[in-house]
Structure formats: structure tokens, C-alpha cells
Amino acid sequence: MNSEERAQQALRHYLLALQFFTRIPVTGRLAAWVGFSPEMLRASSAHFPGVGWVVGACACTVYALLYLGLSAAPATPWVAAALSTAATVLLTGGFHEDGLADVADGLGGSQERERALDIMKDSRIGAFGAMALVLALLAKTGLLALLGQRGLSPALAALAGAHVVSRFFPLLLVRGLPYIGDSARSKAKPLADSITLVQLTVAMAWCVAPLIVIALGEGVLFVLLALLLSGACTALLTRWFLLRLQGFTGDCLGAVQQVAEIAFYLGAALALGPVGLRTGG
């Protein structure tokens, strides 16, 4: 396979990942050119952080337009944070949020492994899932508003970095734990089968450019703390899934993405230090 063929194959895999994890339509002749197979879907996992480029760009655009378009009022960062978060949910169809809710319902609803897995398969949202969703959305909105109070640049940097990096950490779960989901019913089964070191390297490469740009604009500490908290939360969830479930399901991947995204925002906010140190208050 020559370089042109490899580039076309990578583009097909990327478009397949974009189709699977967003509501962006890949139809008609484009869909016919992209094609589909379980092997292609498995290979597309290397481009999950690349999907974060698109979702992050959407979030940044909405946030910036509202931040600059509204009057300089105390509520402006909150409005920008809430509506940019809503935009990403619409763009992705709440795919990862749904996984977080299912995991919270399963692990919160029963201490028994089999019963927890059965609850996670139920499409209905229970009390634990509802609480997890509310708290996650509040955490995102609050942290993005806090970052926006420090300026537009930190908020956009955090949005861009979080949406890319948070889609890398679930791949470590695929690499480190066995898949225990319902193989017959799960559309995500090919994605969770396995991931090679080459695919992980490609996924990591998607993260490099945004993180370098963020470090140049906001400082190395901004990136380091955000990555440290995201990685620590991923490690804790991995340990939890191993102890409670002896593996992971597709819902667990969504939960990791959501928690890693929130942790990235928190790390970025902590890196900026107390408000008074920057504002003189």
C-alpha cells in the first residue's frame, strides 16, 4: 500500500469514527466511498481524539460567539458555558453522557456484578444515572464559566484540549481491561475488541498539536495539571471497573470520557490559581 492509499484509508477510518460518534451525516456517495466493516470500525478507534477536534471546534465557536456577542455582564460566561455544552450534546447525541448515566445506575444500583451489568443494559435512567448527569452538566458549566471569568482564551483552550484528550483516555481502558459487554447486541463491540500500540500512537498524535498550542498560549502548568487530573481519574475508574465488573462495557468508555473531560476543566482552572492573583482583587 503506497502513501496515497494509506492516506485514503486513514480518511475513511476518520469519517467512520465521525459518523459513529457524532450526528454528522456521512451518507450517499461519501458513505459508499467510506464503506463499513467491523475491522474498519475497530481501526477507526485510532481517530477518536480527531473526532474531539470537531466537537471542540463546535464548542469553542459557540462559546466565543456568545462571550463576544453578549454584553460584558457577570452572567455572560455562564450563558456561554451552558449553551456551548448544549451544542456538544446535540452534536454527539449525548452518546457519552448516556454511558455515564448507565454506569452510575449499574454500579450505584447493585453491589452484585451480574445485577449491575443487567441494570446497565436497561435503557431507562434511574436515580443514580439522573444524579450523575445533573452533576456532570453542572460541573462542566460551572468550570467553563469559571474559566470564562478569567478570560476567553483560557476557556477556549480548555474546551479544545478537553474534547480531544478526553477521547484518548477511554482507549487506555480498551488496552488495559477485557471487554465484558453484550457481544451480540452491542454496536460498539468491534471498537472494544482490542487496540494496538500503533492505533494508540495515532490517537496520541491527534492530541499533540492542540496541547502544544495550549501550552504556548496558557502555559505548561495549564496543560500538565489538566492532563494529570484527567489521567488520575481514568486510572481510578479503571481500577473501579476492574474491581466491580472485572472488565468494561461500552458504557464504561462513555463514563471515562465524561469524567476525563470534567477533570481536564478542573485541572485547567486550578492551574490559573486564585482569581485574586490574576485580577488584583
pLDDT tens digits, residue range 226-266?
999 999 999 999 999 999 999 999 999 999 999 999 999 99
> Structure pTM?
0.92
Mean pLDDT of the chain: 90
pLDDT score recorded for residue 36:
84
pLDDT score recorded for residue 278:
44
pLDDT score recorded for residue 279:
40
- β-bridge partners, 179: 248
Residue 50 scores a pLDDT above 60: yes
* Distance in angstroms (rounded) separating the CA atoms of residues 121 and 208: 35
C-alpha cell at position 73:
455582564
In order of 72, 76, 274, 275, the CA distances from 280 in angstroms are 19, 21, 10, 8
pLDDT tens digits, residue range 179-201?
997 655 555 556 666 788 999 99
Judge contact between 265 and 154, C-beta under 8 A.
no
pLDDT tens digits, residue range 145-178?
999 999 999 999 999 999 999 999 999 999 999 9
pLDDT score recorded for residue 192:
62
pLDDT score recorded for residue 193:
66
Per-residue pLDDT averaged across 55-66, rounded? Answer: 97
